[in-house]
Structure 1
C-alpha cells in the first residue's frame, strides 16, 4: 500500500539484503542507508499495526472502561479517520517545512499519544488519545518514504527499499491482532499501546544521526478550508450513522448527517476551483484509476469490520481465551503477508486486470465462509480459519497492486496525486469498515437483542442474567456479524463484476507482459 507515496517507483518487492546489496553495505554510505531503513521501518510498522491491534483487545477494554456502543466504535476507528483525513495535508507540510523534521515531531507525538492511551481512565480520554495517535501517524507515511528516497539514490536499491517498506506496512495490519492477543494473555489492555514506546525512543535517538532532511523545491500550497471541511464532513456523517445505529434516529442525527453531507459536497466543489487541490477529483474520470481506488478502500473496510466483529465473537460469544483467538487469526495473517510478497510475480504473469478481479472474488469467497462459521459455534472454527486464509489472499492482492495500478493509470505528472489518493483510500477504508459495517451490526443487535443494553459486552456485564437472555444476546450479535459479512460479500462481488466490465484488456503493443493498462480518457 505504501508504495504509492513514491510516485512512479517501480520494481518488485524483493529482499533488501540481497547478495548484490550486501556486498555494498560495507561502505559507509550504504551502511548508513540500510541502518536508516531499519530505523524508519519501526514507526511505520507501529502506524499500520495500531490500525488493527485493538480488534482482539476491545472485549478487555469494554470490561475495564465500559464504553457505550458508539464510543467503542470511535475507539476503534477514530485513529483511522485521523490518519486518512490528514495524509495528503501532512505530505504537503513535509514538502514545505522538511520531511525529517515532521517525522521527528510525528514520532514524538505518537509516543505521547500511546502513553496517554495506555493510561486512559475513561472512554472519552481513550478516544482523544487514539485521535492524537492518528494525527501523528498521518505525518509518518509520506515523510518516511521521502526520507528513504534520499537514503537510496540508486534506483534499483531504492525500489528494493520501497518493497521492504511496503511489505512491512502490510505486515503490520496483518499481525496487529495477533500481537495484541499475545500481549493481553500476560498483561493488561494498556500494554497494546505501551509496546510502541521502545520503538519511539530508539527512533528519536538514532534518526538524527542516520537520516537527513528532505524538502521539495516546489512545495504545494495548503488550503486550510479544504482540510477542515473534509475532516469535519466525514466526522459528522459518521457520527450520524453511528448514533442512528446505536440510539435510533434523533434530532442530532437529522442535523449532523445533512450537515456533514453538505460540507463534503462543498469540499468537492472547492477542489475543482483550486490550483493545487487537496484531492484531484478529475483523476476519477479514468475508469482504471477509479476501480483501483475503490479496490483500495473496500477490502480494507471488509477486513477491519469482520476482523473486529470476529474478535468479539470468538471471545464474548464462544468464550475463547484471547491468546487462542490470536492463534486462530495467525494462518490468515501468514497468508496475507505471503500474498503481498508473491503478488508482484503473479501480476507480471497474469496482468493487473486479472489480479484486481481475483482480489474481489477471493475476498467474497472468504467472507462467505464466515456465515457457517458463526452459525455453528466452536464446531465452525475450522470454517473461520479457512475464511481468514481465503480472504487473506484477496487482501494481500489488494495491498500489493492498488497503488501501482492507480499511479500507472494517470499521466506521469499526476502520479503524486494518484499515489496520495490511493494511500488515503486504504486508511479511510480501514476506518469506514468499522464505522459502517460495525454500525450495521450494532443496529441489528439493538433490534433483535434482549434490549437490556446497546452492546453485547454491556449486556453480559449485567448481573443475574438467565441463560435464555444470554443466549438471545449472543444470537443477536451473531446475526449482526453475519449481516456485515454478507453485505461485504455482495459489495465485493459487485465490484469484481464491475471490474470485469470496466477494466480494459492490456494493449500488447504497449506492454507485452500485460502488467499495465492502456490509456483511457487521458
Structure 2
C-alpha cells in the first residue's frame, strides 16, 4: 500500500470477504445440528475458535513485527485462506435457502450511508469539538438509517429482516452482542495503548498480556450451555454481563505505575463474562428462528458484533480522547498520546513533565471510558432480568 487510502481500500475489501465467513459458518452449524443441545455445544466450540484466533492473532502479529516488515501481518493470512480454499469444498456441506429473491444492494448502500457518517461525526467532534459540519453529517447519517429501516420493511428480500426483532429473546441477544462487543472492543484498544505507551511494554509483551482474557473467553464459551442448563438462560446471561461489568470496573484501579497483575486479573474476569454471553448470544439467535431463517438471523448477530466493535472504538475511544484533551492542565498536548509523547521526546530532558502529564491524562480518559462501559453493561443486565423472563419460542 503506497498510501493510507490504498490501505483503507484493501482493508474494506477484506471486510467484504470477512463479512461472509462468520454468518455463513454459524448458519451451517444451525443446519448441521438440529438438536438444541448439540447445537449449543457446537456454537460453544465455534465461539472458542473465534476467541482462540483473537488470542493468537496479536501474539503472532507481535512476533512477526519483532522480526519482519509490517506488511507480513497481512500476508500471513494467505496460506490460512489457501487451506480453506482447498479443504472447504471437500469438508463443508452445502445448504441453500429455497428462494430466488435478489440481493439487497440498495440496503447495503443505505446502511453504509447511515453508519459511516455517524461514526465520522462522533470521532470528529470528540477530536476537534462540536462544529456545524460534523453535526450536519451526523444528522444526515441518522436520516439515512431511518430511510434504511423504511426500505427494509418494504423490500421483498431485506438485508435486515426486521420481523425477527418481534421475538423478545432474539432482540435481547442482539443487544447483548452489540453492547458487549462495544465494551470489549473499546477497552481492548484503550488498554493496548495503555500497556504500550503508558506502561512502556513492547508490542509482543502487550499482546501476551492480553492472552489470559482471550483464554478465559475461549474456555468459558465452551461451558456456556452447561451454565445455562444449570442456572437457566436468563441467569447465565445476567451473570455473564455482571462479570463483564465487574472486569471493566476493575480497570479503574489502573494507574500510570500499576503492577501488571491488576490488568491480568480484571481482564480475565471480564473475559469469563464475555465468553459465556457471546456463546449464549449465538445459541439464542439461531435457536429463536426456524432453521431456514438461520442465515438471516446469523447475519444480524454478526452485524451486531462487528457494529459493536466499531461503536466501541468510536464512542468509548472518542470519550477517552475528549477527557485526555480536557485533562491537559495547561500543557500543550497533541491530538493523541502518541503524538504528545513524540513531542516530549523531542524536547529532551525538559519533556519529562509533559510526558508524565500526558500519561496521567490518558489514564483519566481510559477510566472515563471504563466507567461508561460499566454503566452500559449494568443497564443491559437490568433490562435482561425483565426481558428474559419468558421461555424462548420459535418465530414462524
TM over 0.5: yes
Residue 414 (structure 1) shift? 4.9
Q: Within the alignment, does 1:425 sit opposite 2:304 as a pair?
A: yes
Asked if 2 retains the 8 angstrom alpha-carbon contact of 1:291 and 1:499, the reply is yes
Take 2:297 and 2:81, find their aligned partners in 1: how far apart are those partners? 30
How do 1:106-125 and structure 2 match up within 5 A? 120-125=1-6
| Greater shift in the superposed pair: 273-282 or 197-206 | 197-206
Q: Within the alignment, does 1:407 sit opposite 2:286 as a pair?
A: yes
How do 1:363-442 and structure 2 match up within 5 A? 363-373=244-254, 375=255, 377-410=256-289, 414-442=293-321
Counterpart in the other structure of 1:487: 372
Asked if 1 retains the 8 angstrom alpha-carbon contact of 2:97 and 2:292, the reply is no
Asked if 1 retains the 8 angstrom alpha-carbon contact of 2:175 and 2:304, the reply is yes
String of CA shifts for 1:84-140, please: whole Å, max 9, x gaps.
xxxxxxxxxxxxxxxxxxxxxxxxxxxxxxxxxxxx344333222221211111122
Residue 237 (structure 1) shift? 0.6
Take 1:142 and 1:466, find their aligned partners in 2: how far apart are those partners? 50
Counterpart in the other structure of 2:335: 454
Q: Within the alignment, does 1:474 sit opposite 2:355 as a pair?
A: no
Q: TM-score, normalised by structure 1?
A: 0.68
Q: Within the alignment, does 1:303 sit opposite 2:188 as a pair?
A: no
Counterpart in the other structure of 1:259: 140
| Greater shift in the superposed pair: 282-291 or 254-263 | 282-291
Any idea what SS the aligned residue of 2:259 has? helix
Q: Which of residues 482, 493, 497 is equivalent to 2:382?
A: 497
Take 2:125 and 2:61, find their aligned partners in 1: how far apart are those partners? 30
Q: Within the alignment, does 1:290 sit opposite 2:171 as a pair?
A: yes
CA gap of 1:124–1:447, structure 2 versus 1, over 3 A, is farther
Take 2:225 and 2:334, find their aligned partners in 1: how far apart are those partners? 48
Residue 393 (structure 1) shift? 0.7
Give the CA RMSD over aligned residues: 2.8
Q: Within the alignment, does 1:443 sit opposite 2:319 as a pair?
A: no
Asked if 2 retains the 8 angstrom alpha-carbon contact of 1:372 and 1:380, the reply is no
Any idea what SS the aligned residue of 2:210 has? helix
Q: Within the alignment, does 1:329 sit opposite 2:329 as a pair?
A: no
CA gap of 1:311–1:501, structure 2 versus 1, over 3 A, is same
Asked if 2 retains the 8 angstrom alpha-carbon contact of 1:300 and 1:429, the reply is yes
Any idea what SS the aligned residue of 1:468 has? helix
Asked if 1 retains the 8 angstrom alpha-carbon contact of 2:286 and 2:297, the reply is yes
Asked if 1 retains the 8 angstrom alpha-carbon contact of 2:44 and 2:221, the reply is no
Counterpart in the other structure of 1:244: 125
Take 1:127 and 1:342, find their aligned partners in 2: how far apart are those partners? 38
Asked if 2 retains the 8 angstrom alpha-carbon contact of 1:236 and 1:256, the reply is yes
Take 1:214 and 1:182, find their aligned partners in 2: how far apart are those partners? 39
Q: TM-score, normalised by structure 2?
A: 0.88
CA gap of 1:429–1:174, structure 2 versus 1, over 3 A, is farther
How do 1:199-210 and structure 2 match up within 5 A? 199-207=80-88
Take 2:12 and 2:181, find their aligned partners in 1: how far apart are those partners? 19
CA gap of 1:202–1:289, structure 2 versus 1, over 3 A, is closer
Counterpart in the other structure of 1:228: 109
Asked if 1 retains the 8 angstrom alpha-carbon contact of 2:196 and 2:202, the reply is yes
**What stretches of structure 2 of length at least 5 have no aligned partner?**
none
Take 1:413 and 1:499, find their aligned partners in 2: how far apart are those partners? 27
Residue 213 (structure 1) shift? 6.2
Asked if 2 retains the 8 angstrom alpha-carbon contact of 1:332 and 1:388, the reply is yes
How do 1:32-43 and structure 2 match up within 5 A? none
Take 1:409 and 1:415, find their aligned partners in 2: how far apart are those partners? 9
Number of aligned pairs? 389
**What stretches of structure 1 of length at least 5 have no aligned partner?**
1-119, 506-516
Take 1:357 and 1:154, find their aligned partners in 2: how far apart are those partners? 26
Asked if 1 retains the 8 angstrom alpha-carbon contact of 2:43 and 2:282, the reply is no
